[in-house]
A and B are shown apart, each in its own frame.
Chain A
Amino acid sequence: MNADDIQWLNVFIAVLGGATRVGTPFLFVSLGECLTEKSGRINLGLEGNLIMGAMAGYGISWLTGSPWLGVFAAGATGLVLGFIHALLCQQPRVNDIAVGIALMILGTGLAFFLGKPLIQPSAPKLAAVHLASWSDNPALRSALEINILFVVGALLAPAMAWFFKNTRWGLAIRTVGESDDAARAMGLDINGVRMLATMAGGFLAGVGGAFLSLYYPGGWSEGLSSGQGLMAVALVIFARWDPIRCLYASLLFGGAGALGPALQSVGVTSGYYLFNAAPYALTLVLMIATSSTKVRSRMPGTLAAR
């Protein structure tokens, strides 16, 4: 193998590794959005949850010295934002899209404001598991540094699919999302179910934020998130509201996001910014490619009806 081939192999490995690293926030936000949308509501505010979660997670980790406490704090912050979203949306004639945009801006602004003192300090990070310490290839070693949160997310996806299919609560969420009439006939509390689903979805998005500040790219800055929260909404549509497909889609988006840095690491610098735009271009392409009515038929009924 000549040096050139090894370089491209390294890019490939880096993209694979990046898929889990860059993809984890996508995974948590998309699972959260999937849960919320299954109950018949769209929460565009998850970008706000993500950034607030990143800030809160970093702050708590710095104050307590425990990154895992930070993760829980991030989730709790997302839970509160989800609660606000659900509370506002269940008022008469309130549009969930508009509330979501408002909360996205609120969450971002609040995080920047509260996070000012966190730019300097260095908080303890989440540790990674090194799966490739046997190898002397640095690219492979770095690619196989897997974070526990990714494992949690990867297990959560099938667990959520099982939950939707096999539990009373899962059926209740799907029913509420599919048809108001059916839910009412079953005696379900529609607003209550949506409230819980939105809060749980908000929690997951918050945890995704903690991954950003406590692992990769790490640290707290105002440029930490680059729209992952919003792209995750598109990702849920691409995944056809199936948690397991959310996992695959997150890895795909993660890989696309890792393409720019991977190319830079082997010295390809021309078009660097273009490659960094890969996830956004991918979002656009996927939205167009999947905007067929066949995708729509998988959409929760109450969302498709409007």
Chain B
Amino acid sequence: MTGLALEAINVSKRFGDLQALDRVSLKLKKGGIHALLGENGAGKSTLVKCIVGFYTPDEGEVLLGEHQQLISNPRDAHDLGIGMVYQHFTLVPNMTVLENLVLARPRLPSIIDWNKERMAIAERMKGMPFQLPLDAPVNHLAAGEKQKLEIIKQLLLDVKVLILDEPTSVLTPDEADEVLGQIKDMARRTGLAVLMITHKFREVVLYADDVTVLRRGRYVGSERVGDVSVEKMSEMMVGREFSGTALAREPAADQGVKLAIDALTIEDDSGLPAVSNLSLTVKGGEIVGIAGVSGNGQRELVEALAGQRPTTGGEIRVMGERYRGERQELLRHRFHCLPEEPLRNASVSRMSVAENLGFRCFDRPPHSIGGFLRRRAINAYAQRLIAEFKVSPANTAIPIGNLSGGNVQRAILARELWDQPNVLVVANPCFGLDFTAVAEIHARLMAARNAGAAVLLISEDLDEIIELADRIDVISDGRLVYETTPQAADPIVIGHHMAGHAGEPHAH
């Protein structure tokens, strides 16, 4: 099946001073997957929001199908059969799969006949690429199942164009392969047109038929996937030959164990065990990476290490001493922590950059004397930090919440890396950042390691862990289930363990 499903012609969109999209065109064919590739901030989301009618383009137009219908608002897009799966889930967690599917129907009857709905949906479900238990509450589903449910929700609406926003960001490699493979089959079979936003070359190469690359809001080009190499794509995406410069990993001097976790047990908010009987050690001059799919106890572990969550069993030792996450201990051991989403978890967004950067040291001389803050000293200190870490804008007086995501990340990292940490706990440090920022943050973490810090890196990005870590552990359901080294690491094997399929044979 061929023919155009959707066409965007010279679409431009400007927000204030920012030209978010500059004359971008895109042709989406029926019966295949079209990848939209670009760094963060390249304008992928803006383009898609123009397509689904969420934004009105300043110039250009979006046309659907052979009849060249114009899309001017979300309702049009919906009525014309464009469905979008967002990166964050739009499911109702306290409802069942069935309720969520029925809820998505545009014209619900006033009174819902659950038996009829159940039979109708069970019947349609047979033709779907994946199956899900209809009566399971959504909050009991794993992330991968939620993603499948989101996709089924759209497919049940008989969409002709399906837009997926970073569909595999919460999936293990296995799950990603399954979901994308099935979607590709379905597209071939039914003539569905799929537009997939991504920044993973692997998915483009394996599953997409065409690729369109955006850079800084501009259209760089469209290619048949078979005609273009990964090097060429990354060059289109970043604008220069992407060199995977290996980070300078100095041989580790044996510094002894700085962080030791022994049989640690932590409960989640509902009192269920989130981390069970977890033991690990991190030596000075070593990065230990913990890989895992989001929601397997990582958040609770980081919170416990940061002193934000009580533990229910086991103990944490830092520099050989029992550690309870108290401020005195943090200061004495130079125990530093960069949690995920630092704007929410490690800063006060309405307080100024200077105040936020002073959190570690505001109560010590020279930043305060006799209990009184010395604003000038704190400011000067913050100025040094943001100059060193290239935080922009270089203004310490504005609220930290006004900075962009990457700059918040840099600012908080500056606070945590300053003053030679002994132990550094880092969670998803590069989530949502672009290439350049990622490379810089990786280099900083490696430098901290080389300087003798014990680094515990907890990340959902397996590539990041393989690149940085000296040893790799896999967390699944609150337990460390697998240990390997970056040299021996096989992403597929690690993926199996991430998904909790332990005990399957794997060769080394």
Residues of A within 8 A of B (CB): 166-169, 171, 174-175, 178-179, 181-182, 184-187, 292-294, 296-298, 300-301
Contact = CB atoms under 8 A, between A and B. Distances in A.
B351 interface: no
Given A167-B112, A168-B109, A169-B110, A179 B90 contact: yes
Interface in B66-110: 74-75, 78, 86, 88-95, 99, 102-104, 108-110
Nearest to A162: B111
Given A182-B103, A293-B271, 6 more contacts: A166-B112, A166-B114, A168-B108, A171-B99, A179-B90, A181-B89
B436 interface: no
Given A175-B103, A178-B94, A297 B108 contact: no
B270 interface: yes
Contacts of A293: 269-271
B93 A301 contact: yes
Nearest to B78: A187
Contacts of B270: 293-294, 296-297
Contacts of A169: 110
Interface residues of B, number: 25
Contacts of B99: 171
A110 B490 CA distance: 72
B90 A182 contact: yes
Q: Which of B90, B91, B104, B269 has the most CB of A within 10 A?
A: B90
B90 A181 contact: yes
- What 8 A-B pairs are tightest by C-beta distance, nearest first? A185-B90, A168-B108, A178-B92, A182-B90, A293-B270, A182-B92, A181-B90, A297-B270
Contact of B110 (A168, A179, A292, A300): A168
| Residue of A175, A184, A185, A298 contacting most chain B CB atoms (<10 Å) | A185
A300 B104 CA distance: 19
A12 to B, nearest CB: 37
Contact of B271 (A168, A187, A292, A301): A292
Interface of B: 74-75, 78, 86, 88-95, 99, 102-104, 108-112, 114, 269-271
Given A293-B269, A296-B269, A297-B270, A174 B92 contact: yes
Contacts of A171: 99, 102-103, 108, 112
A31 to B, nearest CB: 20
A301 B95 CA distance: 11
Given A178-B95, A182-B92, A168 B75 contact: no
Contacts of A168: 108-112
Contacts of B91: 179, 182
A126 to B, nearest CB: 32
25 contacts: A166-B112, A166-B114, A167-B110, A167-B111, A167-B112, A168-B108, A168-B110, A168-B111, A174-B92, A178-B95, A179-B91, A181-B88, A181-B90, A182-B90, A182-B92, A182-B103, A186-B103, A187-B74, A187-B78, A292-B271, A293-B269, A294-B270, A300-B94, A301-B92, A301-B94
A179 B92 contact: yes
Contacts of B90: 179, 181-182, 184-186
A166 B115 CA distance: 11
A187 B108 CA distance: 13
A147 to B, nearest CB: 30
Contacts of A179: 90-93
Contacts of B88: 181
A179 B74 CA distance: 20
Nearest to B90: A185
A185 B86 contact: yes
A301 B91 CA distance: 11
A182 B150 CA distance: 11
Nearest to A298: B94
B129 to A, nearest CB: 21
Contacts of B86: 181, 185
A300 B417 CA distance: 40
A297 B108 CA distance: 28
Contact of A166 (B74, B111, B269): B111
Contacts of A297: 270
Contacts of B114: 166
A165 B94 CA distance: 12
